[in-house]
Amino acid sequence: MKNAIARLLGVLPPGARLVVGGTVTLGASAYVYMALVGYSLGTSNAARVTLLWTIVMSVGWGLFQPVELELTRLVAARKVAGEGSLPTVRRMLFFALAVLGLSFVVLAAAARPIADLVFGGDRSLVLALAGGLVGMALSSVSRGALAGLGLFRQYGSQLALDGGLRIGLAILVAMVGIHSALVFGLILLVAPVTASVVGLRSILADKAAGSAVRWRELISGMGFLIASVMLSQLVINACVVCVRLLAPRSSEASDALVFALGQAIVMARVPLFAYSALQASMVSALSGAAAAGDHGEFRKVLTRTTAVVAAMCIGCGLPVVLLGAWLNPLLFNAKHLLGPLDFAWLVLGTLFYLLATVFGQALMSSSQHRRQLLGWAAGSVALVCVALAPGNVGLRAELAYLAGATVSAVLMLWSLYRALPGSRSPAEPSGQLAEEDSTALIRSV
């Protein structure tokens, strides 16, 4: 048994084992948080908090996850070159705060229509949305720097503190008997900001001299990456948003479907939370291998991560398909609106979404930002086409998610096949070895 566990851990990217505990805590916080929302608030307010969570985890993730990923890549490359990280971290923090400021301007200008369209006229939740974006901005800088430096123990500790605070604060609000959507929403500000401040202490300990990334390099790469992540969030959060936009917004039935589908997606996304334990170490390892010209190591990390992700999706997805329709009302107090087939579409969508994410981040790690963007753009087009087709709103939303994820995964796998030969070591006289390695990657998938 010990040998089997050791072999399994050996497959994971370097550093992944050190963030597993934090990832589990942060992932569990989503379920505890949404369960307490479902039992503490009425149907309308629970649906609004579900939409708030969805927007923070989609728009906020789309704006600031690129900060974490690109900072991981840049810091890892500088670490290979023997340079310090602080100048690059400071510049990326300035960039993140600039994006946050622009987001505030948009939210202030469109507060009323956003509140009317999404939050049933409750403008206080627009304030909670702004707070959630602050949390995403600061945590992205802290996590990106920690991952790039290889400080995965501290990275995992930040994840654990963030998740633990979300759980503890949500339990406290429920126990006190506060039935306020705004109070639940502000937890998305307090928890990540507190965890980020703790994480910054380890980053400031890096005193090595180094040069900052040039603004031109930073902005050009971040532009493609932000667009890619925003489109990826459109794909994964399409279900809830499609139901809200396509179904009657004033209907209690549509509110119930939004809440039920939102919690079903949370269950189907279990592998996505688990992937967070691999992502930071994978991007750091791939970026370091690309910077060093070691494309053999690049291929090894990528193929192993792909295999682990596929196994996670299959292992976690089957119980969700079989038990999801029963667990959704039990755990989240949702209405009995979904069956096993609904959960099957969501689980398949998550499988292809995660494969697309792995392939896209591999492209990003080798500075192929444009190809990553094209993959997510094609998937988004497929998603919109399916969502606008006639038929049941809930089924359209589920199939749109699956279609968008599948198209993105297939196109980025092909792009990766085309890009891998360019990452070969200068010592290699031709592209034959790289071509064989990329063919091996396709076969492993």
- Which alpha helices (DSSP H) does 269-368 contain, by range? 270-292, 295-332, 340-365
Give the Cα separation of 151 and 202 in Å (integer): 8
> What's the pLDDT band for 6 if we cut at 50, 70, 90?
very low
Between 76 and 204, whose confidence is greater?
76
Give 37-68 pLDDT, tens digit per residue. Answer: 888 887 788 888 888 888 888 788 888 888 88
- Lookup result for tokens 């209907």: 251
DSSP string, 109-149: HTHHHHHHHHSTT-THHHHHHHHHHHHHHHHHHHHHHHHHH
Give the Cα separation of 252 and 261 in Å (integer): 14
pLDDT > 50? residue 205:
yes
Give the Cα separation of 234 and 238 in Å (integer): 6
pLDDT > 70? residue 241:
yes
Q: What is the pLDDT of residue 104?
A: 94
How crowded is the C-beta side of 180, counted as CA atoms within 13 Å? 13
Nearest CA among 142, 141, 118 for reference residue 129: 118
| Domain boundaries along the sequence of the chain | 2-444
Fill in the DSSP letter of residue 19.
G
Q: What is the pLDDT of residue 12?
A: 56
pLDDT > 90? residue 103:
yes
Check if the beta carbon of residue 202 is closer than 8 Å to that of residue 161.
no
pTM: 0.69
Nearest CA among 348, 349, 347, 332 for reference residue 256: 332
- Lookup result for tokens 């069956």: 339
Residue partners of 134: CB distance under 8 A and separation at least 6: 100, 189, 193
Fill in the DSSP letter of residue 150.
T
Token pair for 441: 């990657």
Q: What is the pLDDT of residue 206?
A: 66
Q: What is the pLDDT of residue 3?
A: 47
pLDDT > 90? residue 131:
yes
3-state secondary structure (DSSP) of residue 444:
helix
Between 386 and 41, whose confidence is greater?
386
Nearest CA among 63, 27, 40, 65 for reference residue 268: 27
* Element holding 55 (H helix, E strand): helix 43-55
Give the Cα separation of 420 and 424 in Å (integer): 7
Token pair for 239: 């279900």
pLDDT > 60? residue 345:
yes
> 387 — alpha (psi -120 to 50), left (phi > 0) or beta?
alpha
What's at 337, amino acid-wise?
Answer: L
- Lookup result for tokens 């890892």: 76
Give the Cα separation of 232 and 377 in Å (integer): 8
CB atoms within 10 A of CB 208: 11
Of 50-64, 236-250, 257-271, 337-351, minimum mean pLDDT range? 236-250
Give the Cα separation of 200 and 144 in Å (integer): 11
Between 230 and 192, whose confidence is greater?
192
Nearest CA among 399, 388, 351, 359 for reference residue 376: 359
Give 109-129 pLDDT, tens digit per residue. Answer: 999 998 888 787 888 899 999
Residue partners of 343: CB distance under 8 A and separation at least 6: 264, 267, 268, 320, 321, 324, 325
- Lookup result for tokens 């750091």: 284
Average pLDDT of the chain is 80
Give the Cα separation of 9 and 438 in Å (integer): 24
Between 395 and 333, whose confidence is greater?
395
Give the Cα separation of 15 and 9 in Å (integer): 10
Of 8-12, 269-273, 279-283, minimum mean pLDDT range? 8-12
The pLDDT of 233-254, averaged and rounded, is 72
pLDDT > 50? residue 324:
yes
Give the Cα separation of 17 and 13 in Å (integer): 8
pLDDT > 70? residue 249:
no
Which range, 27-41, 166-180, 211-225, 279-293, has the best average confidence (pLDDT)?
166-180
Burial 244-269 (b: 16+ CB within 10 A, else e): beebeeeeeebbbbbbbbbbbbbbbb
Nearest CA among 403, 363, 411 for reference residue 386: 403
Instruction: Give the burial class of 370: count Cβ atoms within 10 A of its Cβ; 0-12 exposed, 13-18 middle, 19 or more buried.
Output: middle
